[in-house]
Amino acid sequence: MVRGTPGGQQVGREKMQEKKGKGFLLGGPAGTGANGPQEGDIRLRDERGNWHVVQGIPLYPPLYTDRSATIAVIDSGILADHPQIRGLIAEQEDFTGEGPEDRIGHGTIVAILTLQARSAAPPEFQNLPSPRILVAKVADADGTVDKHAVISAIDWAASRGAGVVNLSLGFIEGTDDYSDLCSAITKHPEVLFVAAAGNYGPDVRVYPAACAQDGAANIISVGTTDDWSGKGDIQAPGTVTLKPLEP
């Protein structure tokens, strides 16, 4: 789940999506633009092309090795040359037909946040190699997510050796049947899935996080400590701060 303050501006909450089989990214609203999202969205570059970076995560991480864990980020794609993620993207696959580039910013931020655990780990674990990151793009330029694209992306990530799959996206209960989405998760018991609990309070069930309540044992849900968050197995602060990269 990603919310942020790029340049001091709070990234707002997306609207509930009610179209059958269509979902949404969780954390920041959708936007468009070749350099990432526009006003009110997660801005990763300014008008001069200078990067914005996530506060608290180092620049230019060490490259992954054959000892690295493999993490898949199923989201809005990636800006692979971002200085906090450069060199860590092992494979990319586009399930939208738009190409793998992140036009929203959400997927890039989520990929960067996979490094946070390493940065915050005890000293004896900080020498572990950076993760090997797989990127599957399932959100189009307006932030819409198709359920069948997510299912295909899950199968792709598992086939490429992912041990952990991040799903910061969701579908609201009642807008479709999501048993096929839950089945896609349970048929890969060797993979741990981490899904956002939702942005609509504890009483709204959001899939795939709600697959755990339907019997999926290999998924955990993550929420924030804010009152708008869904109820997660893990609750943590949910604000991401972006700052301009100093020349």
Instruction: Please check the confidence at residue 157 and state whether its pLDDT lies above 90.
Output: yes
Summarize pLDDT for 69-94 with one digit per residue, the tens: 999 999 999 999 999 999 999 999 99
pLDDT of residue 17: 43
Of 117-121, 194-198, 206-210, which range is least confident?
Answer: 117-121
- Cis status, amide bond into 29, omega within 30 of 0: no
The residue type at 15: K
Parallel, antiparallel or unpaired: strands 132-137 and 70-75: parallel
Dihedral, CA of residue 136, residue 197, residue 24 and residue 207, to nearest 10: 80
Helix (H, G, I), strand (E, B) or coil at 192: strand
Give the helix/strand (H/E) hosting 144: strand 144-146
Mean pLDDT (the chain) is 83
Q: Is the pLDDT of residue 5 over 50?
A: no
